[in-house]
Amino acid sequence: MEKYTLIITEKPNAAQRIAQALDHKGKPKRVEEKNVSYFLAKRDKLLVVVSALGHLYTVMHIGKGRNYYPVFNFKWAPRYLAERGAKHIRAWIEVVSKLAKNAEEFIDACDYDIEGSLIGYCLLKYACGNKENVAKRMKFSTLTKKELEKAYSEPLPELDFALIEAGKTRHEVDWLYGVNVSRALTLAAKRWSGRYATLSTGRVQGPTLNFLIDRERSIRSFVPVPYWNVRAAVYVEGTAYEVEYEKKTFEKRVDADAVVKACKGKAGKIEKIEKRSTKQKPPIPFDLGALQTEAYGLFGCTPRRTSHIAERLYLGALISYPRTSSQKLPSAIGYRAILKGLNKERAYKRLASGLLKIGELKPREGVKEDPAHPAVYPTGNVPERALDESERRIWDLVVRRFMAVFGEPAVKQSMRVTINVNGHRFYLRGRRILKEGWMKFYKPYVRTEELALPPLNEGETVQLGEMLREDKFTKPPPRFNPSSLLKKMEEVGIGTKATRADIIETLHSRKYITEERIVVTDLGFDIIDVLHRYCQGVISVELTRELEEKMQRIQTNSEKRENVLFEVVEGLKPMLEELKQREAVIGEALSNAIKRSRMQERIVGDCPTCHTGKLMILYSRKTRKRFIGCTNYFKNVCQTSFPLPQRGTVKPLHRPCKGCGWPTLIVKMRGRRPWTLCFNDSCPKKEERRKRLEMRSLQKRNPE
Amino acid sequence: MKCEVCKRETPNRYCELHENAYGNIMQKFEVWKDAAGMSWEQYLNEIVENQFTGIWAKEVAQHLLKNKE
């Protein structure tokens, strides 16, 4: 084979798209070797485009065994050596190494950010044989043909070594924290109980769990306080309108009662009508965090899922690179070309053509910048394949937000009518949109409620209708959800845009937290309790943020990787020493927590027979079969028990049955759709189903 | 010594978690008394039934009611 240029990408889909964009006929040849695909594209010369599979190399301990700590010696090694279940990586690296032998030029075309740069660097250094210093770098924010061709013809002369250094440090620091503290916790529990359970914490995981716990404590210790308000309605032209009392809340019930007594059944006089117009500026472009928050608020899509969908849309060349913290849209992206592209899609035709008529397009931008990529924007390409529902939604959101940022401010009018009733003032409020402005682009996602008021005049008399005192209570602080937690992490500056969503998922998978409106489990409490006592540095937001800042400085060459690593090791040493000295106490606390957590997982709900015990998934000592029994059985109080399916997994749903209110379970079996199980034999839903089935079989037997 | 509510080891009457909830209960009683003219027992019953009361506060309130404190 002739000599060629080897182009390395981050993912297989990107390799295919880059090869298609660079091949002069747009039809590169796909070659498969050891189940690894790469592409041959012809241009001015032969190009071989091969992808990585995310990170192919990782940080690994130099030395054998996993049952000890501290460990501070590490090296970068292929993932198949460090991780179980990464065997397929071996073939991948072998294919890249083979392709590197005949290459005369190397181009790194991985995503232009810390992770992408590190992926490309590792492949060039380790798989291609120290080619990191001769390789060039393609820099692009979209996978459109035009941008890829430009990035190929004008590559950066060398890799971004500062970015790579920062990436390496991040991985090494995370490994040092993760492996040491997680091992310390896991081993402490194992040595005390003799049973293995993975317990982990990390540089970002710890502080995140810590502020979840702070919130959980406030919620669990919360004592509400009563307050009251007065609500009333006025009748205008036969229609009732809700009015609010001038004083929003009453601290004493008697005061609220006095107002109701003084105003009930009385007429009121319109004292004043105030109108106020306000301009609402267009929204700013999406960075990843804002896109995740918006998608969660509108569609209930978790940040991690949004990130994955956005990634797919990027690989489909429909949107720009989503892992960005920029809120800027530079004119170089070509606003008009994008809008012309969107003009081809029927849903956006009217809106895009409207914008194209504007002389100078100027987006509203936010303050945040990202040196690597602009904010998320649509490329102007229309989908080549049918998008699934979730992809369509996120794409639509990005497109509409992009158009909205060029819109004019919206003008809203709010109206306040002051009604005097027996010396007490009530307010009737109305609001309407005078000019849609940017809202017409973002319409399905604008959350604004209009409340039109009838024509009213000062001095007019209106009749008060229903009036009541409302009993209210102060509420505990709200629970975090994945979106608000992500926002909080962003606010306090821990984690990166690429890792935050995954950290939340890890906390779930480790069973430190549960539910979508996040509840910290007992295990989560105990982990933080141990870390708080013996290893404070791991849960300190300040220390984590400081470390993030230092790693950020490596990116600008104002801090050295060696210094950061040295500091981390020096900080970890005393903490690990302390953990080791107290291993027995920690082991006991953690083992009990694991035991409690496992028991908790088996509790299905309150016993519907005795009402004092809990129904639990139990195993018969004789038959080893599982069933549901009441915890009061052991006290000889309640004999309630129910059979369970013996195959598949059974988990409590913590949701009452819609038919009878009994606790329910979810049953999962291989090859079948999971189903909800209500074990109440006389559940009305079951009865309904039985009748339905009988009817169906009757119909089958007598089709007439 | 063990926490009177959850039996966790503690040097005080309540563990750290329930102590905090107990502090909140004591602190909020004056507000409830002024606002709705309630007795101590009525107040405890109210917060045990209230949907916004935290689980630890409920446990302490139930414990106080049981012991008629």
Nearest CB to B50 within list A217, A219, A224 = A224
How many domains, in total, are found in chain B?
1
Domain A168-220+480-594 in this protein, CATH class: mainly alpha
Measured in Å, how far apart are chain B's first and last C-alpha atoms? Answer: 20
What band does A1 get if pLDDT is binned at 50, 70 and 90? low
Counting one residue from chain A and one from chain B, the pairs whose CB atoms sit within 8 A come to 57
Q: Which residues contact B26 (CB under 8 A, 6 or more apart)?
A: none
Contact B54 A474 (CB under 8 A): no
- Give per-residue pLDDT as tens, A49-62: 999 998 999 999 99
The third-level CATH classification (topology) of the domain covering A288-404 is Topoisomerase I; domain 4 (1.10.290)
Domain that residue B54 falls in = 16-66
What band does A588 get if pLDDT is binned at 50, 70 and 90? confident
Q: Where in chain A is the domain with CATH 1.10.290.10?
A: 288-404
Alpha-carbon distance A480 to nearest alpha carbon in chain B (angstroms): 16
Q: How many CB atoms lie within 10 A of CB A681?
A: 8
pTM: 0.80
- Of A630, A641, A645, A639, nearest to A677 (Cα)? A645
The catalytic position among A69, A321, A335, A377 is A321
Q: How many CB atoms lie within 10 A of CB B34?
A: 11
Is residue B6 in some structural domain? no
Is residue B11 in some structural domain? no
d(CA A384, CA A382): 6
Minimal Cα distance from A228: which residue of B? B35
CB A281 within 8 A of CB A409: yes
Is residue B30 in some structural domain? yes
Low-confidence winner among A86-95, A271-280, A405-414, A446-455 (lowest mean pLDDT): A446-455
d(CA A652, CA A662): 12
Q: Where in chain A is the domain with CATH 3.40.50.140?
A: 4-159
The pLDDT assigned to A704 comes to 58
Classify the complex by whether its ipTM is higher than 0.90, answering yes or no.
Answer: yes
Among this protein's residues, is A227 annotated catalytic?
no
CATH match for A226-282+410-473 among 1.10.3720.10, 3.40.30.10, 3.40.50.1100, 2.70.20.10: 2.70.20.10
- Grouping H, G, I as helix, E, B as strand and the rest as coil, residue A240 is strand
Would the pLDDT of B10 be above 80? yes
- Give per-residue pLDDT as tens, A367-389: 999 888 999 999 999 998 899 99
- Of A223, A312, A175, nearest to B56 (Cα)? A223
Q: Report the share of chain A in percent with pLDDT over 70.
A: 100
The pLDDT assigned to A594 comes to 84
Contact B20 A252 (CB under 8 A): no
Q: In B, which residues are within 8 Å of A226 by CB distance?
A: 32, 35-36
Contact B54 A476 (CB under 8 A): yes
List the helix and strand counts (H, then E) for chain B.
Answer: 3, 0
Contact A223 B20 (CB under 8 A): no
Contact B20 A222 (CB under 8 A): no
d(CA A500, CA A502): 5
Task: Give me chain A's average pLDDT, please.
Answer: 91
CATH match for A4-159 among 3.40.50.10330, 3.40.50.140, 3.40.630.10, 3.40.50.970: 3.40.50.140
Q: Where are the alpha helices (DSSP H) in B1-69?
A: 16-36, 40-49, 55-66
CB A479 within 8 A of CB A219: yes
- Give per-residue pLDDT as tens, A8-63: 999 999 999 999 999 999 999 999 999 999 999 999 899 999 999 989 999 999 98
Contact B53 A222 (CB under 8 A): yes
Q: Which residue has the higher pLDDT, A351 or A453?
A: A351
- Which residues of A sit within 8 Å Cβ distance of B? 217-227, 251-253, 473-476
d(CA A339, CA A353): 8
Minimal Cα distance from A218: which residue of B? B54
Is residue B10 in some structural domain? no
